[in-house]
Amino acid sequence: MRKFIIALLPVLTLACHSASKTTDATKGSSKKNDGWQVLFDGSSKDNWHVYNNKSDGSAWKVQNGILYLDPAARKNGAGGGDLVTNEEYENFHLKLEWKIDSAGNSGIIFLTQEDPKYGQSYLTGPEMQIIDNNGHRDAKINKHRAGDLYDLIASTPENVRPWGQWNQIEILINKGKLDLFQNGAKVVSTTMWDDNWKNMIAASKFKNWAGFGMFQKGRIALQDHGNGVSFRNIQIKRL
């Protein structure tokens, strides 16, 4: 009997070790997900549609894990339009990577309201600017450069990479606190909806746009500005 127990001990030890590894692996998997929702899985546009259209926009294409706008596929605007998320978000942490074509312009618009009375997503939602700083004329204007909170706050430091190279950005909104990150650095930090926010809007090009920047829940939009732009690794976490 003693010999049987001695022989069984290594088997029990191995079983316990395996169970421990399985438990650790399960915990690791749970931590890895940690509430993040994949908005673009590298193969489909299932989580997106064209603003006020509900189509997926034929000029927005998917190839090699990248979601990109093909300007040549846009014909008088057909097939294009801003892509917006199917879901609305309130407090969230958004992460993605983007790159722009030479002399290109685009943006990430957030808290936008999808409603026929608003013709474009940018009429209600603030924008983190995407642009070729050295090639597009709009980048000569202060607060219109890559990483800026468009026409509201200039980004600091200015750390965008040249056109054709990937940039990683994050947009974090939590109970009115707004932080924008670009390539690992916080480039904009402000508070939304307070008096200072309202004063910034009143001093901007948006001053006569009813409701601009005042909604606390809305969709995320990838802007079609008519230029080639690419996105990948898009994920969001509700806070």
pLDDT digits (tens, 9 = 90+) for 54-104: 777 999 999 999 999 999 998 776 899 999 999 999 999 999 999 999 999
Q: Which CATH class is domain 37-238?
A: mainly beta
pLDDT over 60 at 7, yes or no:
no
pTM of the model: 0.85
pLDDT at 27 over 70: no
Strand 66-69 to 185-191 pairing: unpaired
pLDDT at residue 150, rounded to an integer: 98
| SS3 (DSSP) at 15 | helix
The DSSP 8-state label assigned to residue 149 in this structure reads B
- List, for residues 216-238, the tens digit of each pLDDT value: 999 999 999 999 999 999 999 99
